[in-house]
Chains A and B, each alone.
Chain A
Amino acid sequence: MTKLNLFAMAVAGLVLAGCSSTPTEEGTKTTAAPAAPVVGAGAAADRASTDVAKVYFDFDRAEIKAEYMGVIKSQAAFLNANTSKSVTLEGNCDERGTREYNLALGERRAQSVADVLKAEGVAANRIKTVSFGEDRPAVEGHNESAWAKNRRVEFNVQ
């Protein structure tokens, strides 16, 4: 018997298997799903990042390069002269590497800049740090010129 009778086999098979399984209810949830909530509208939209001071970093590094010490010192001088102002240092990374590690690396970069500001005499309670990891690129793009502009700390003075 090399050619099976489909009908006979179907009956035998279904009886033997003895099961008549039905899909579970899970798929029906899609119809009852509530509208997705919308959040984050109160958070300011990305401002043009051309109008703030920035410090740039090497890949996977948080050390301040000598060429950016001047930028940080001039920000410190401004803050020391305007004692009603405070600063949020926003740390960012390029898209390469993993997202959560980059979130931590962005914080470390912001803290590196904060350390210099403090050494220049800015009170710690006027400095906040926040990391956006790789999620707020200054420049969209998948090449070194974009990446170099995205590995940065921005001074958000208020």
Chain B
Amino acid sequence: MRFQGKMMHQQIKTVIAGLALLVSLAALADDPVRVEITGGTEQSYPIAVTPFKNQVAIANPDYNIAQIIRDDLGRSGSFNPMREADMSPVMVAGDLNLDYWRKVGQDYVVIGEVRPQGTDMYQVDMRLINSLNQQELVARRWNGVSGQLLRAAAHQMSDAIYSAITGRGGAFDSRMAYIRIDRTPGKRKMFLLEVADSDGYAPRTILRSYMPLMSISWSPDATRLAYVSFENRKPEVIIQSLDGRLRQSVASFDGINSAPAWSPDGRSLLMTLSKGGNPDIYVMDVATRRLTQLTFDPAIETEATWAADGQSIFFNSDRRGQPQVFQASLASPRDVKRITFDGKYNAKPIASPDGRYIAYIRQDVGGFKITTQDLTTGDSKVISSTGSDESPSFSPNGDMIAYSYNDYRGGVIAVLSRNGRAFTKLNIAGDVRDPAWGPLTTAQ
């Protein structure tokens, strides 16, 4: 059986790759030189997302469905999408020829078709086929899609492909909140709170302020943002709903009111307050505004984030002289455990949704870098090649990390795959920073 043979071949390839990694790790054990092993045993799936038939029916070039899917999958670091320029036009135009796609190394093929359904309304079919065993993995139809929703539909297709192949949830049909700085010459500098699609498209402004904004946190139901505003010349914690109906200051005590972080159940907010004389971490019950103090050290405690299970927190404390990440359980917050030991500056932790990793900012010789740490092994790894990194934020599936850094023209928001393999600057113009990746918009 030809196709079974192919499947066997693929499994063997995976096994061999795993063995090769074990061998190289053993060889490195006594090597004092630091070697970065990116990717590990994870595969990078080759996939050909062919141009959707009748794509020309959609006039707007921003709505190239196949390209949106390729860009999504590429950003994840788990896929290696074939460039359209590398695809044979004959094979793209004709009937699906799995022999061809298999020969050019594409284990997976996506085909699709667009059909107009009246003015600015479309039906779109998308199918995912494993070219090795000819199995169809996804066949779905999006009906009555307005032009405005075509990008959202494309992101849903990316999510369907991602989960069918990797077995993990997708993250593309979600939003990114961030801060934009408007430096229009001749005008007073302004700070804008914006929300865009997870790939940076379709931004809309939620708030404009003449004073700095920072520290965005999404409510888990994606309806509200908590953030810090200096609109009254001091840092305050604000909650604002995305529909514009609600905006209120929930913490404006003397001193610092900062670093809000919404709990996984949506009921509480972690925050940093210095009303007691020095910055400590508190948890606020959002409904009653009741505060419970969680840290008590005279040093700086801030940048608290929830563990995935909501039972403990990670935070930054300089109680040992410089910033390091610690963990404390809500049940007994005085039992504090140090989490980071490598490097003299480790700050701004964020936990992955599956609870396995934390990401944070480490200062090393190359500057301030996105670093991941496997909580089961304690192993940490610098994964960014930029050096002014801030504000790491996990994608809802934990496979990507959004962050910001400065380049020659100002702040840039980028997405780095958690395995460090893929780095993508998001298509957001201007001086932008402090991304906060929102929850999935649709149930999967």
Contact = CB atoms under 8 A, between A and B. Distances in A.
Interface of A: 1-6, 9-10, 12-14, 16-17, 19-24, 26-31, 33-34, 36-41, 43-46, 60, 95-101, 103-105, 107-108, 129-133, 135-136, 142
A97 to B, nearest CB: 6
Given A13-B136, A36-B205, A101-B303, A135 B230 contact: yes
A13 B255 contact: no
11 contacts: A4-B129, A24-B441, A38-B209, A39-B211, A44-B233, A96-B388, A97-B368, A100-B214, A103-B235, A130-B234, A135-B230
Interface of B: 95-99, 111, 113, 125, 127, 129, 134, 136, 138-146, 148-149, 151-153, 156, 188-189, 191-193, 202, 204-212, 214-215, 229-235, 242-244, 247, 255-256, 258-259, 272, 274, 278-279, 300, 302-303, 316, 318, 322-323, 345, 347-348, 361, 363, 367-368, 388, 390-391, 406, 434, 441-442
Contacts of A6: 95-96, 111
B345 A60 contact: yes
Given A4-B95, A104-B302, A43 B259 contact: no
Contacts of B97: 2-3
Task: Pick the most buried of A9, A22, A23, A97: most chain B CB atoms within 10 A of its CB.
Answer: A23
Nearest to B207: A36
B211 A43 contact: yes
B142 A19 contact: no
A97 B390 CA distance: 7
A26 B193 CA distance: 19
B172 to A, nearest CB: 13
B220 to A, nearest CB: 16
A111 to B, nearest CB: 8
Given A3-B99, A4-B96, A46-B189, 6 more contacts: A38-B210, A96-B367, A96-B388, A97-B347, A97-B363, A101-B303
B141 A14 contact: yes
B139 A5 contact: no
B390 A98 contact: yes
Contacts of B302: 100-101, 103-104
Given A24-B441, A41-B210, A130-B233, A96 B139 contact: no
A91 to B, nearest CB: 10
A97 B323 contact: yes
Contacts of B145: 22-23
Contacts of B153: 23
Nearest to B124: A23
Contacts of A2: 97-99
B142 A40 contact: no
The 6 closest A-B pairs by CB, nearest first: A13-B139, A40-B231, A135-B212, A40-B211, A34-B244, A40-B210
A77 B256 CA distance: 29
B231 A107 contact: no
Contact of B406 (A12, A46, A95): A95
A58 to B, nearest CB: 12
A30 B148 contact: yes
Nearest to A110: B255
Contact of A9 (B136, B214, B272): B136
Contacts of A107: 255-256, 274, 279
A123 B334 CA distance: 35
A101 B214 CA distance: 12
Contacts of A34: 243-244
B442 A24 contact: yes
Given A21-B140, A23-B152, A101 B300 contact: yes
Given A23-B156, A36-B206, A28 B148 contact: yes
A43 B142 contact: no
A3 B98 contact: yes
A14 B209 contact: no
Contacts of A131: 235, 256
A23 B149 contact: yes
Contacts of B441: 24, 26
Contact of B390 (A4, A13, A99, A104): A99
B152 A96 contact: no
